[in-house]
C-alpha cells in the first residue's frame, strides 16, 4: 500500500471547489481559468478528489504570519 | 522625421558591392582632389561635393534637398585608373588563387568528388564557421595538388606565393591586380559554393577594387578651428591622396609614360587605398599627419576599446551625470549630497526665462561658464543653442528675452539622483538635495552608507541631474532619502547612527554630566535652537541632554543592547541607554516609531541631530583606543590559562580513552567522530569561558565600550585579542592532517592533541607561535576564498531572481499579478501586509489601542 501523501504534515489541505464558489472566485479577482496557477490532474495531492480538467482546487496552507492562507489552482491535463 | 519608412526585416544577407551596384547607388562621381573653391564653397566633383550630404548649417543637400541633421549623407565613387587589391580580402583572394586552375578557373577537385565534399563542408560551416570551412577546403585541395595538374583541363599548376601585405607571385613572376582579377573572373559560379561564398550575389573579382566608394561627408565632417581655419577629417585627407594619385595615374597612362613610372604610381595608389581601409597593416608604414601622428582611418574607427563598437555602442554614457570618489561628511544633511564645485560648473539645469527670473538669469550669464555660479548655454526660442563665452556674452545678454532657456550651473538646493552599483534594491538610487562644496569628492552623510552599502575605502558613486520639472518632482516626492528610511524588506529604519555617533550617545546617556552652559553649547552646536526644554538646573545629566532632542509628546518603551528597558515618557529618557539597538541601522523600534508619528522629514532631521550630538559629545570627552585597552589583571590572566589548561587536559583524557577503546560513541556517530566532536566542544567551551572572563574582568576600556554599545567590534574580537584565539576550523572540523598523517611536519604522525590540530591558545596581544600562525592563515585563506567565490555566485542568483520577478506587482484587489494579469498570489505574502508599513514585520495592535485610548484621555 502506497503512502497517503495527504496525511503528511507538509502537504497542505486540498479541497474541491463547487461551481458556484468557482464563479465567485472568478468574479472576485475578475479573472478566468487561464489567469490562475495550475495543477496537474494526476497530482497525487488531489488524486482523492476526483476532479476534472478545468475545475478549481482550494488549497489551505498553514502560514506563519496569516494563520491559514487560501490559494486556488486550476486543473490541467496531466 | 517626416519621410520615415516602415518595413519589416525578413532576413539580412552580407555580401560585397559589385562595381555596378556601387555606380547605381551613389549620387556623385568624384573627379578632383580639390575640396573648396576660392569662396570656400565645396567644389562640384570634389570630396566635399554637396551631393554627398551637408555639414554646413546653412546649406542644403543637393541629392535629397534636406538640411543638416536631416540628410543622412550619400555615397560617391571614383573610377580607379588601375585595379587595386582590397586589403581586407588578401587571404580570401590567395585561397582562391591557390585552389583554382590557372587556365580554366575550375576548382582543383575532380568533378565526381565535388558533391560529396560540398555537403561535408556545409556541415562544417553550420557547426563551426566559414573560417574552419576554408581551412578544410585547403586541406582537400592539397590532397589533389600533389599531382600539380588540373583535374579538368590537365594544365600544369604553379605555386602561388604572397609577399605581405598584398603582392602575389606565381613562381617568381609577380601577378598584378589586373592579372589576379582576370584569374578570379574565370572562377566558375558553381565552384564558389565550395568556398562558402553565396554565388547569387557574389563574384570573387569584386574583391579587387575597380570602382571605389567614397563615404558621405557626414561621416567625415570638417571642423572649424577657433582661428576660423578649416580642419579636414583624417578620412578626407586620405581620400584626397587617393584621388590625387589616381588622377596622376590616369594622366601618365594617357600620356603613354614609361611602364616604371606607371608601376610606381600604381603601387602608391595601392598603398593609399590600403591605408584608407586599415592604417595598421603590419608590413606597411602607417600614413601620418604632418605632425607625425598616424591617421585614424576606417579600421581604427571601428576596432579596439576606443573604437565605435566598444566605446560608442557598448559603452554609452549619459549626459548630465557625474562620477567620483565618495567621502563622509557628518555635518551634511541626511538628504543632501556634497557636489564638488568643479562638477557643479559642468552639470547644468535648464531654466526658462520669465518676467520674474530674468534678472537672476542675466547675472548667471554675466558670470559665464568660468565663474560660479554661472551658465554654460542659452537655448533661443527657435531651439538654437548658443555657447556662452566671453565673446558671445554681450550679444546673448542683449537678445535675452522671455522664452529663452538658460543652462545654468548646479546650485545648492537642486535635485539630483545618487546611485551606487551594484543597484540591488530601490535604495541603491535615491534623490538627494545638492550642496555645492569645495574639494573633488562627493560628500554624503555616513548614515546613508547602509542603503547604498557604501564605505569610503575608495568607493565611487554616480550622480544624475534631472532636466525637467516632472522628473524633478517625481524624484523628490518618490525617491528622496527621507522617504526611503523605512526598509520595505524588514520594516525598520535602513539608516541610523554609526560608529562615533553611537558611542557618543551611549556615553552621554550612560555617565556624562554637564553644566547647564556646556549642555546648551553642545545642543546648539547640533542645530537645536529651542533650548526651552533644557532643565533649569546647574548639573544636567546626559539623559536630560539627549531628551532635549526628543519631541515632548513622544513615548516609547523598548530594550537596549544589554537587555535593559529603555523608557521614554513625554519626550524624556527615563531609563536605558542609547546604543545600537535604538540608534543603529536595521535595528530597534525607536527610529521606526519616530518615523511613524512625526513623518519622514522630522525623522531625517532628528537623526541628523542625534548623530551630531553623539559626535560632539565624543569630541569633547575624548575617545581613543590603544594597546592598554587589552591589558588584563594578573589574576585574570592566570584564571584564563587555568581554563585553557583544563580544557587541554580534558582533550588529552578523551584521546587517551579513545585509544584505550572505552570512549562511548554518540548516537549516529563513529567513535572517531565522537572524539572530534567532544574535543571541539571542550575547546570551544574553554574559549567562550575565558572570553567571558576576560570581558567581565577587563577594566573599562574604549574597546569594550564600543563592543558594548555596538558601534564597532564584538566581545569575540576582544576575547581573541586579550584571552584566547581559539580553535581554528575548516569545514566545521578541526584542521585535518594535510601531510602524511599530520598537519605540519613539526608534529608527530597521528597526533590528535589540540595544539596539533589547530587550537590557538595564545591571544593576539601575546602573539601566536609559528604553527598557530599557520593554522590561522589556513582558516584565513579559506574564508577569503569563500567570500571571493560566493560573492559572484550569490550576485548572479539574486539577479536571476529579481529579473524573474521584476514585473510582478500587487494589484488593487491585494493579489499579486504578473505583467499579463495572471495571478501569482491571491493575497500578497499570504497576509496582505505591506512590510514597510509594519514595525519589523509586525503590526502591534496592542500598542495602537493603547495609543488611541491614551490620546482620547
Ligand atoms: Mg568599499
Ligand atoms: Zn542628402
Ligand atoms: Zn584547368
Can you tell me which residue has the cell 600604381? B266
Mean pLDDT by 10 residues, chain B (857 residues): 77 89 91 88 90 86 87 93 94 89 86 79 80 80 74 85 90 92 90 79 92 93 81 92 94 92 94 94 88 90 87 86 95 94 95 93 92 92 87 90 93 96 91 96 94 95 96 96 92 91 93 91 90 88 92 89 89 90 86 91 93 93 89 85 89 88 85 86 87 78 88 87 87 81 86 87 90 92 91 88 91 93 92 89 85 66
Confidence at residue B127, expressed as pLDDT on a 0 to 100 scale: 82
Q: How far is B622 from B625, CA to CA, in rounded Å? A: 10
Cα of B506 vs centre of ligand 3, distance in Å, is 97
Q: How far is B787 from B780, CA to CA, in rounded Å? A: 11
Cα of B180 vs centre of ligand 3, distance in Å, is 16
Q: How far is B129 from B132, CA to CA, in rounded Å? A: 5
The answer to whether A74 touches A37, Cβ cutoff 8 Å, is yes
Q: How far is B790 from B787, CA to CA, in rounded Å? A: 5
Nearest CA in chain B to A67: B831
Q: Taking the domain A5-76, which CATH number applies?
A: 3.90.940.20
Starting at the earlier edge strand, list the strands of the sheet with B208-214.
B28-29, B76-85, B208-214
- End-to-end Cα distance, chain A: 23
Task: Tell me which residues of chain B, numbers 785 to 824, contact chain A at a CB-CB cutoff of 8 Å.
Answer: 813, 815, 821-824
B408 membership: H or E segment, kind and range: strand B405-409
B322 membership: H or E segment, kind and range: strand B321-328
The answer to whether B647 touches B685, Cβ cutoff 8 Å, is yes
Q: How far is B851 from B857, CA to CA, in rounded Å? A: 10
The grid coordinates listed for B721 are: 585579542
Q: CB-based contact (8 Å) between B825 and chain A?
A: yes
Confidence at residue B742, expressed as pLDDT on a 0 to 100 scale: 87
CB neighbour class for B305 (10 Å; exposed up to 12, middle 13-18, buried from 19): exposed
Confidence at residue B857, expressed as pLDDT on a 0 to 100 scale: 43
C-alpha closest to that of B360 among B343, B349, B373, B347: B373
Q: Do A36 and B813 touch (CB under 8 A)?
A: no
What DSSP designation does B211 have? E
Kindly list the structural domains of chain B, giving each domain's residue range(s) and its CATH number in brackets, ordered by start. 27-74+215-309 (4.10.860.120), 84-206 (no CATH), 321-484 (2.40.40.20), 500-621 (1.10.274.100), 628-772 (1.10.132.30), 809-856 (no CATH)
Number of inter-chain CB pairs under 8 A, A vs B: 38
Q: How far is B160 from B413, CA to CA, in rounded Å? A: 74
Can you tell me which residue has the cell 514585473? B807
Q: Whose atoms come closest to the Cα of B325: which ligand? A: 1
What ipTM did this prediction achieve?
0.94
Pairing mode of beta strands B385-387, B230-231: unpaired
Pairing mode of beta strands B336-340, B429-437: parallel
Q: CB-based contact (8 Å) between A11 and chain B?
A: no
Cα of B326 vs centre of ligand 1, distance in Å, is 10
Q: How far is B683 from B685, CA to CA, in rounded Å? A: 5
The answer to whether B560 touches B581, Cβ cutoff 8 Å, is yes
Q: Whose atoms come closest to the Cα of B70: which ligand? A: 2
The answer to whether B387 touches B376, Cβ cutoff 8 Å, is yes
Computed on alpha carbons and rounded to an integer, the radius of gyration of chain A in Å comes to: 13
The grid coordinates listed for B13 are: 544577407
Q: How far is B396 from B403, CA to CA, in rounded Å? A: 13
In angstroms, the separation between the Cα of residue B630 and the nearest Cα of chain A is 46
CB neighbour class for B63 (10 Å; exposed up to 12, middle 13-18, buried from 19): buried
Q: Is the dihedral of CA B365, B371, B372, B376 positive or negative?
A: positive
C-alpha closest to that of B607 among B588, B623, B633: B588
In angstroms, the separation between the Cα of residue A47 and the nearest Cα of chain B is 23
The grid coordinates listed for B90 are: 588578401
Pairing mode of beta strands B321-328, B442-444: parallel
Q: How far is B537 from B518, CA to CA, in rounded Å? A: 12
Q: How many CA atoms lie within 13 A of B255 on its CB side?
A: 10
The answer to whether B579 touches B547, Cβ cutoff 8 Å, is no
- B80: phi then psi, degrees, rounded to nearest 5: -80, 140
Per the DSSP assignment, residues forming a β-bridge with B608 are: none
Cα of B150 vs centre of ligand 3, distance in Å, is 5
Q: How far is B370 from B388, CA to CA, in rounded Å? A: 10
Cα of B154 vs centre of ligand 3, distance in Å, is 6
Q: How far is B273 from B89, CA to CA, in rounded Å? A: 13
Q: Is the pTM of this model over 0.90?
A: no
Q: How far is B86 from B210, CA to CA, in rounded Å? A: 10
**Domain segments of chain A: what residues?**
5-76
Q: How far is B210 from B82, CA to CA, in rounded Å? A: 7
Q: How far is B73 from B66, CA to CA, in rounded Å? A: 10
> What is the number of residues in chain A?
78
C-alpha closest to that of B702 among B622, B764, B636: B622
The grid coordinates listed for B857 are: 484621555
Q: CB-based contact (8 Å) between A62 and chain B?
A: no
The answer to whether B223 touches B234, Cβ cutoff 8 Å, is no
**Could you check whether the bond before residue B373 is cis, i.e. omega within 30 degrees of 0?**
yes
Residues of chain A with Cβ-Cβ distance to B841 below 8 Å are 65
Q: How far is B265 from B259, CA to CA, in rounded Å? A: 10
The minimal CB distance from A29 to the residues B823, B831, B841 is found for B823
Q: Do A69 and B830 touch (CB under 8 A)?
A: yes
- In our burial notation (b when 16+ CB lie closer than 10 A, e otherwise), range B372-386 reads ebbbbbbbeeeeeee
> What is the number of residues in chain B?
857
Residues of chain A with Cβ-Cβ distance to B832 below 8 Å are 66
- In our burial notation (b when 16+ CB lie closer than 10 A, e otherwise), range B801-836 reads eeeeeeeeebeeeebbbeeeeebebbbbbbbebebe
Nearest CA in chain B to A69: B830
> Which residues have CB under 8 Å from B497's CB, separation 6+?
B447, B505, B583, B584, B585, B607, B610, B611, B614
What DSSP designation does B761 have? -
Cα of B452 vs centre of ligand 1, distance in Å, is 11
Amino acid at each position: 500500500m502506497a503512502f497517503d501523501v495527504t496525511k503528511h504534515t507538509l502537504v497542505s489541505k486540498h479541497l474541491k471547489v463547487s461551481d458556484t464558489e468557482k464563479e465567485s472566485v472568478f468574479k472576485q479577482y475578475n479573472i478566468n481559468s487561464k489567469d490562475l496557477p495550475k495543477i496537474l490532474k494526476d497530482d497525487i495531492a488531489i488524486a482523492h478528489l476526483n476532479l476534472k480538467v478545468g475545475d478549481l482546487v482550494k488549497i489551505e496552507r498553514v502560514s506563519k504570519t496569516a494563520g491559514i492562507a487560501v490559494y486556488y489552482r486550476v486543473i490541467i491535463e496531466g | 522625421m517626416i519621410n520615415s519608412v516602415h518595413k519589416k526585416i525578413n532576413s539580412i544577407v552580407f555580401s560585397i558591392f559589385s562595381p555596378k551596384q556601387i555606380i547605381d547607388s551613389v549620387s556623385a562621381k568624384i573627379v578632383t582632389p580639390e575640396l573648396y573653391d576660392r569662396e570656400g564653397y565645396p567644389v562640384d566633383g570634389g570630396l566635399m561635393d554637396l551631393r554627398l550630404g551637408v555639414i554646413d548649417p546653412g546649406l542644403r543637400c543637393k541629392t535629397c534637398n534636406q538640411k543638416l541633421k536631416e540628410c543622412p549623407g550619400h555615397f560617391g565613387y571614383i573610377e580607379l585608373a588601375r585595379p587595386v587589391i582590397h586589403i581586407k580580402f588578401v587571404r580570401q583572394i590567395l585561397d582562391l588563387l591557390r585552389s583554382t586552375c590557372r587556365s580554366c578557373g575550375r576548382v582543383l577537385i575532380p568533378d565526381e568528388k565535388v558533391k560529396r565534399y560540398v555537403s561535408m563542408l556545409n556541415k562544417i560551416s553550420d557547426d563551426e564557421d566559414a573560417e574552419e570551412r576554408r581551412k578544410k577546403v585547403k586541406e582537400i585541395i592539397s590532397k589533389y595538388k600533389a599531382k600539380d595538374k588540373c583535374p579538368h583541363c590537365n594544365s600544369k599548376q604553379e605555386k602561388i606565393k604572397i609577399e605581405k601585405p598584398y603582392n602575389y607571385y606565381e613562381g617568381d613572376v609577380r601577378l598584378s591586380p589586373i592579372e589576379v582579377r582576370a584569374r578570379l573572373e574565370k572562377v566558375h559560379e558553381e565552384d564558389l559554393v565550395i568556398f562558402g561564398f553565396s554565388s547569387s550575389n557574389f563574384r570573387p573579382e569584386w574583391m579587387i577594387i575597380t570602382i571605389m566608394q567614397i563615404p558621405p561627408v557626414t561621416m567625415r565632417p570638417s571642423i572649424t578651428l577657433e582661428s576660423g581655419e578649416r580642419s579636414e577629417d583624417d578620412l578626407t585627407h586620405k581620400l584626397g591622396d587617393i584621388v590625387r594619385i589616381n588622377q596622376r595615374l590616369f594622366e601618365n597612362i594617357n600620356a603613354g609614360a614609361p611602364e616604371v613610372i606607371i608601376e610606381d604610381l600604381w603601387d602608391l595608389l595601392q598603398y593609399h587605398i590600403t591605408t584608407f581601409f586599415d592604417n595598421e597593416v603590419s608590413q606597411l608604414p602607417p600614413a601620418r599627419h604632418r605632425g607625425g601622428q598616424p591617421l585614424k582611418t576606417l579600421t581604427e574607427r571601428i576596432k579596439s576599446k576606443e573604437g565605435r563598437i566598444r566605446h560608442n555602442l557598448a559603452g554609452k554614457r549619459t549626459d548630465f551625470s557625474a562620477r567620483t570618489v565618495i567621502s563622509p561628511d557628518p555635518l551634511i544633511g541626511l538628504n543632501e549630497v556634497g557636489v564638488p564645485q568643479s562638477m557643479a560648473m559642468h552639470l547644468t539645469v535648464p531654466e526658462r526665462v520669465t518676467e520674474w527670473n530674468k534678472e537672476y538669469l542675466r547675472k548667471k550669464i554675466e558670470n559665464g561658464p568660468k565663474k560660479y555660479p554661472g551658465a554654460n548655454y542659452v537655448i533661443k526660442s527657435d531651439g538654437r543653442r548658443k555657447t556662452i563665452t566671453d565673446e558671445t556674452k554681450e550679444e546673448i545678454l542683449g537678445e535675452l528675452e522671455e522664452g529663452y532657456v538658460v543652462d545654468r550651473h548646479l546650485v545648492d538646493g537642486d535635485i539630483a539622483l545618487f546611485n551606487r552599483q551594484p543597484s540591488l534594491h530601490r535604495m541603491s538610487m535615491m534623490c538627494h538635495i545638492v550642496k555645492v562644496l569645495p574639494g573633488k569628492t562627493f560628500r554624503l552623510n555616513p548614515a546613508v552608507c547602509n542603503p547604498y552599502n557604501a564605505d569610503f575605502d575608495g568607493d565611487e558613486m554616480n550622480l544624475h541631474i534631472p532636466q525637467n520639472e516632472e522628473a524633478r518632482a517625481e524624484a523628490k516626492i518618490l525617491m528622496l532619502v527621507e522617504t526611503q528610511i523605512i526598509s520595505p524588506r524588514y520594516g525598520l529604519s535602513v539608516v541610523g547612527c554609526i560608529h562615533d555617533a553611537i558611542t557618543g550617545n551611549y556615553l552621554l546617556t550612560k555617565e556624562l554630566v554637564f553644566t547647564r552652559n556646556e549642555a546648551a553649547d553642545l545642543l546648539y552646536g547640533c542645530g537645536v535652537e529651542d533650548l526651552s526644554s533644557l532643565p533649569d538646573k546647574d548639573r544636567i545629566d546626559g539623559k536630560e541632554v539627549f531628551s532635549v532632542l526628543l519631541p515632548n509628546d513622544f513615548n516609547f518603551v523598548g530594550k537596549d543592547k544589554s537587555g535593559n528597558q529603555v523608557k521614554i515618557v513625554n519626550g524624556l529618557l527615563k531609563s536605558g541607554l542609547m546604543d545600537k539597538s535604538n540608534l543603529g541601522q536595521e535595528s530597534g523600534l525607536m527610529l521606526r516609531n519616530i518615523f511613524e508619528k512625526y513623518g519622514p522629514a522630522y525623522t531625517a532631521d532628528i537623526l541628523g541631530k542625534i548623530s551630531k550630538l553623539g559626535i560632539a559629545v565624543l569630541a569633547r570627552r575624548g575617545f581613543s583606543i590603544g594597546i592598554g585597552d587589552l591589558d588584563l589583571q594578573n589574576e585574570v590572566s592566570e584564571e584564563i590559562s587555568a581554563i585553557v589548561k583544563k580544557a587541554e587536559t580534558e582533550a588529552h583524557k578523551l584521546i587517551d580513552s579513545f585509544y584505550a577503546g572505552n570512549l562511548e560513541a554518540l548516537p549516529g556517530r563513529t567513535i572517531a567522530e565522537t572524539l572530534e566532536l567532544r574535543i571541539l566542544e571542550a575547546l570551544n567551551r574553554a574559549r567562550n569561558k575565558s572570553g567571558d572572563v576576560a570581558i567581565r574582568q577587563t577594566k573599562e576600556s574604549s574597546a569594550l565600550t564600543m563592543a558594548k554599545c555596538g558601534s564597532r567590534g564584538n566581545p569575540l574580537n576582544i576575547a581573541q585579542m586579550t584571552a584566547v584565539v581559539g580553535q581554528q576550523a575548516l569545514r566545521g572540523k578541526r584542521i585535518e592532517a594535510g601531510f602524511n598523517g599530520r598537519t605540519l611536519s613539526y608534529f608527530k604522525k597521528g597526533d590528535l592533541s589540540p595544539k596539533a590540530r589547530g587550537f590557538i591558545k595564545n591571544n593576539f596581544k601575546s602573539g601566536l607561535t609559528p604553527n598557530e600562525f599557520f593554522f590561522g592563515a589556513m582558516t584565513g585563506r579559506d574564508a577569503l576564498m569563500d567570500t571571493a567565490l560566493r560573492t559572484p555566485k550569490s550576485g548572479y542568483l539574486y539577479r536571476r531572481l529579481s529579473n524573474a520577478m521584476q514585473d510582478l506587482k500587487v494589484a488593487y484587489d491585494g493579489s499579486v499579478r504578473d505583467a499579463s494579469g495572471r495571478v501569482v498570489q491571491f493575497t500578497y505574502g499570504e497576509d496582505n501586509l505591506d512590510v514597510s508599513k509594519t514595525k519589523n514585520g509586525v503590526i502591534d495592535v496592542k500598542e495602537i489601542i493603547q495609543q488611541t485610548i491614551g490620546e482620547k484621555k
